[in-house]
Structure 1
Amino acid sequence: MAYDSRPTLRRVLTGAAIGLVLAVTGSGGLAQAHAGTAAVSAGVAASKARAVCPPAPLWANTGGNDQRLIQYDTTGTTLSSAPLVRDYGDIAFSPNGSTLYGVDFPGSAGSVTLYTIDPVTGAETSSRPISGPLAAITPTPAVNGLTARADGMLIAGSFGTSQIFLIDPATGVSTLFPVSFPAGVVSAGDFITLDDGDVLAFGAPDTTSPSPVFRIRPDNTIIQIGTVPQTFGAAKSAGSVYAFASNGDINLLTSLPTTASTAPLPVTTVEATGRGFYGASSVQDSGNCVVPAYTVAKSASPAGPVNEGNTITYRLTVTNTGAVVANGDFTDDLSDVLDDATLVPGSLTSTTGSATLTGNTLNWTGTLAPGGTATVTYKVRVNSPDTGDRRLVNYAAPTAPGGSCASARTCTVTIEVKKKKGHKDCDRPGHGHGEGHGRGEGHGRGEGHGRGEDEGRGDGPGHGGRPDHGHDSAVG
């Protein structure tokens, strides 16, 4: 969440919620209160290493006067952006990546809601009231941390208490998580299941200080491992954790120690966006190795051969074949098409996403829901006369993670241009163009008898060897 961007709310939370937290947890915090619950998990296996996943996009939600759902790659480049209808304290993908959840911020006591959000459009698709201890926090629940566990339950935090919660997304019922933040620390914005099985948790001692970072072990012990610039959301990609700071920076955490420390953790800022982040997520936050998948297919009509002056319509189809939202980005190299043809002005269209031609390269970018499809079409007119190589060849290449061609041949199209009528195809020796068609001097024709320029020009003798019986010039 980005409470620093909302002065009125900050005063309420600082004056009431933090005071409440300090009063409730001042005698050792809720972690000790749940020591008995932690014992239930005493038999949980130690952290187990997971395979490193391929890169996945990072998603963030902004709020205040700029309510948007933004998708970034791991370099901080914006992949998509959609408007949101409200401030969400955080967002979280389900373990299989098929559902995006959001929690309203700040929420009023006794009334807080879990929403599902369309990641392509940003629209709310459903809502469910949250009940239980999370909804009972006063003066506001102020849910600002949300992440799915591998079992489908949602881990949630609040700026109004040190306690951590679980939410059943099927019912909206919240329960107490067996671990809480230490006394005086509340949730800053997120939880991430690391590849070693620990849960990374970001806290907040107040509204301005750096965020303390904790590891929650599978045996429900918690230790602080350092601090990072004040963080309101986090997302994991390919085993790395990216923290979305209150000042709009996207920071890569370059080290996640396993021993206790309060020292600053090393971070690398991959992008300074200047945006007001309220939360962040990725399809890999639950610890599952979820990856997108999409295919690209290409066709042309007519398929050829074509005549000079003909118009060819190209069609490219990109389809999300996976279970998670995907970027179906691809390029189409037209350099070996535009040497024989010219793009028909205004013919480049796309049913969704953005299609642009830069130089000889067509670029398409767009976000597709599972099963979603986008179609890109454009037309070219074969030059007349065609002074190119009389072959139109182009290849579409997927450029985002998870992309592939629909089959081995569906990304490439090759179209031949016919030669004009009456234009002989004389590629054999002695039947070439120009001088190779010349008639030799003498009684007979030089066609088919001579090889090379000498006989083709008619300089040499004919069959009889008498120069006075031959033609004076070559006939091309």
Structure 2
Amino acid sequence: MLNHRKPALRRVLTSAAIGLVLAVTGPAGFAQADGGAASASTGTTASKARAVCPPTTLWANTGGTALNLIQYDTAGNTLSTAPLVRDYGDIAFSPNGSTLYGVDFPGAAGSTTLYTINPVTGAETASTPITGPLAAITPTPAVNGLTARADGTLIAGSFNTSQIFLIDPATGVSTLFPASFPAGIVSAGDFITLDDGDILAFGTPDTTSPSPVFRIRPDNTVIQIGTVPQTFGAAKSAGQVYAFASNGDINQLNSLPATASTAALPITTVKATGSGFYGATSTQDAGTCVAPAYTIAKRAAPARKAHEGDTITYRVTVRNTGAIAATGDFSDDLGGVLDDATLVPGTVTSTTGTTNVTGDTLTWTGTLAPGATATITYQVTVNTPDTGDRLLTNTAVPTAPGGTCTTSRDCTVTIKVDKDKDCDKPGHHHGDEPGHHHGDGMRKQGTSSH
């Protein structure tokens, strides 16, 4: 497939050979800072293990002819898509997941910009010029790696230097990170804080070769642990790293060894999307345990009992109860309803997101900001005559990470279809209700017998 991201630019950049780009010295500071080793090293500093986070979703940005922000589950299924306004070299969530950053690609000579992006709509909400050594890279900054650290700063890499940088997102000021890629290697497109505290970094020697993968230890020594297919972005969920390849594949990294190796790392391709990935992120890339959370609740009117010919209105409410943007997907199996009733055409609506009915299954997908809600409604008419089991039962099931029912009973609705519609008229009582008697003593309300 034709990838629309960095290869097109790389063809321009590599006309002067990558080796020459890496040999440049001066204010951009390509040498290792603060004494950290720039070459591969085994590293002896012990990393501190972290608790494994609950699952979260993966986000990726595409570019070129298709500018989109796409949210995936860890099986590679698309949860949401929003249009973007420009090419971003990479995207990154803040440590608490409240802010999504993007950096323009490739930027102009002496200038590049950090943007904040609404993850629900894809719209830019603010911009901050980046200053310092990152902006001074020539011929362009070409920032293609961006990830938040737990302290809130952003770690960044460029296709035009082996040096790694830090960015203060509040001011846009960049500084040198105390580690860099080995000579001849530049950033391929991402950094991940692993659960053991090491930083995983993806590099590249050229425009086509597999990406060497490095661990950056807490003492800033760097060790290559293997290679993966050329990768332009990465994201972490529940301790598992997913690499977004230049050919559009989402690859799960099955092993992240702690010892030096140049061998291919074992991967599982969870999805061949065919998309032109420019970057990827998740709310857990900084090493924090931020995860989506949403609830669903289902109601019906009438609530428990209906008759032949009645119209029943179902309402499902989805609420984002977490601190980050979340996809509140659910499915609703109507099989236990449509044996007794018929879906009323044109009544399936939602206040936001997308609702579909396929066969006997209704699904909804949509991304909600923290605290936001979506309401999905549909109507059915009970058949006349009702030849089903005269019991309408259906359950809305959350299908995205972090989804739960508001209470254990809030996702299921059961409605009984009565045979005798007159039984609900005032003055008529059922046999199991007070005032209704069987046998010779049965009498209507308001009469007396002696």
TM-score by length of 2: 0.87
Letter in 2 for 1:49: A
Shift of 1:10: 2.3
CA distance 1:336–1:103, change in 2 (3 Å): same
Residues 264 and 408 of structure 1, relative CA distance in 2, 3 Å threshold? closer
Q: Which residue of 1 aligns with 2:240?
A: 240
SS in 1 for 2:247: coil
With a CA cutoff of 8 Å and minimum separation of 6, indicate the structure with the bigger relative contact order. Answer: 2
Shift of 1:3: 8.1
Gaps of 5+ in 2: 39-43, 433-437, 441-450
Identity of aligned residues (%): 77
Q: Does 1:21 align with 2:21?
A: yes
Report if aligned partners of 1:4, 1:207 keep a CA contact under 8 Å in 2: no
1:305 is displaced (CA, Å) by 3.2
Secondary structure, counterpart of 1:161 in structure 2 = coil
Does residue 362 of structure 2 align to residue 386 of structure 1? no
Q: How far apart are 1:16 and its partner, in Å? A: 4.5
Q: 1:104 to 1:345 in 2, by over 3 A?
A: same
The equivalent of 1:314 in structure 2 is 314
Alignment of 1:147-296 (within 5 A): 147-296=147-296
Give the corresponding residue for 2:444.
none
| Deviations 1:216-267, CA, capped at 9 Å, x for gaps | 0011111111111111111111211111111112111111111111222122
Instruction: Write the letter of the residue equivalent to 1:420.
Output: K
Residue 135 (structure 1) shift: 0.6
CA contact (8 A) 2:236 2:285 kept: yes
**How far is the alpha carbon of 1:24 from its aligned partner?**
2.8
Report the CA distance between 1:333 and its aligned residue. 2.7
- Secondary structure, in 3 states, of the residue corresponding to 1:21? helix
Alpha-carbon distance in structure 2 between the residues aligned to 1:304 and 1:267: 51
TM-score (norm 1): 0.83
8 Å contact from structure 1 (residues 397, 411) kept in 2: yes
Partner Cα separation in structure 2 for residue 17 and residue 163 of structure 1: 17
Amino acid at match of 1:421: D
**1:30/1:299 CA distance change after superposition, 3 Å:** same
> Alpha-carbon deviations, 1:59-92, whole Å to 9, x = none?
1111111211111222222222222111110011
Cα distance change, pair 4–399 in 1 and its aligned pair in 2 (3 A): closer
Q: Measured at CA, do residues 392 and 155 of structure 1 come closer, stay the same or move farther in structure 2, by a change above 3 Å? A: same
Please tell me the residue identity of whatever aligns with 1:82: A
Q: Deviations over 1:431-472 (max 9, x none)?
A: xxxxxx9xxxxxxxxx88xxxxxxxxxxxxxxxxxxxxxxxx
2: CA distance between counterparts of 1:197 and 1:15? Answer: 38
Query: Which protein has the larger Cα radius of gyration, Structure 1 or Structure 2?
Result: 1
Q: Which residue of structure 2 lines up, in the alignment, with residue 401 of structure 1?
A: 401
What pairs with 1:40-439 in structure 2 (closer than 5 Å)?
A: 46-418=46-418, 419-421=420-422
The one-letter code of the counterpart of 2:165 is: F
Q: Secondary structure at the match of 2:125?
A: strand
Deviations 1:376-415 (A, max 9, x none): 1011112233333433332222122111111233222233
Q: Within 2, Cα distance between the matches of 1:242 and 1:285?
A: 11
CA contact (8 A) 2:140 2:160 kept: yes
SS of aligned partner of 2:285:
coil
In structure 2, C-alpha distance between the alignment counterparts of 1:384 and 1:167, rounded to whole Å: 67
2:166 partner SS? strand
Letter in 1 for 2:364: W
C-alpha distance in 1, partners of 2:351/2:17?
Answer: 48
Query: Residue 25 of structure 1 contacts residue 183 of structure 1 at CA under 8 Å; is this kept in 2?
Result: no
Contact kept, 8 Å, 1:3 with 1:9, in 2: the verdict is no
> Cα 1:269–1:305, aligned 2, differ >3 Å: closer, same or farther?
closer
- CA RMSD after TM alignment: 2.8
Please say if residues 348 and 376 of structure 2, whose CA atoms lie closer than 8 Å, have aligned partners that are also in contact: yes
Tell me how far apart the structure 1 counterparts of residues 339 and 391 of structure 2 sit (CA, whole Å).
9
Answer yes or no: is the 8 Å Cα contact 1:154–1:166 preserved in 2: yes
CA distance in 1, matches of 2:174, 2:403: 38
Q: After the TM superposition, which of the residue ranges 313-322 and 49-58 deviates more from structure 2?
A: 49-58
SS in 2 for 1:59: strand
TM-superposition CA deviations, 1:83-125 (whole Å, max 9, x none): 2111110011111111111000000122100011111221111
Give 3-state SS (helix, strand or coil) of 1:417's partner: strand
Q: Is the 8 A contact 2:5 2:278 kept in 1?
A: no
Structure 2 residue identity aligned to 1:34: D
Q: 1:45 to 1:371 in 2, by over 3 A?
A: farther
Query: 1: CA distance between counterparts of 2:348 and 2:52?
Result: 40
For residues 301 and 277 of structure 2, what CA distance do their matches in structure 1 show?
47
Q: Is the 8 A contact 1:58 1:235 kept in 2?
A: yes
1:10 aligns with: 10
Q: State the 1:424 CA deviation.
A: 9.8
| Cα distance in 2 for residues equivalent to 1:417 and 1:34 | 76
Q: What secondary structure is seen at the aligned counterpart in 2 of 1:378? A: strand
- Report SS of the residue matched to 2:288: coil
- Tell whether the 8 Å contact from 2:99 to 2:117 is kept in structure 1 after alignment: yes
What runs of 5+ residues in structure 1 fail to find an aligned partner? Answer: 39-43, 428-436, 438-446, 449-476
Q: Secondary structure at the match of 1:160?
A: coil
Q: Is residue 342–residue 381 contact of structure 1 (8 Å, CA) maintained in 2?
A: yes
Residue 45 of structure 1: CA displacement?
A: 7.5
- Figure out how many residues of one structure are paired with residues of the other and give that number: 425
> Could you say which residue in structure 1 is the equivalent of 2:445?
none
Give yes or no for contact 1:253–1:266 (8 Å, CA) kept in 2.
Answer: yes
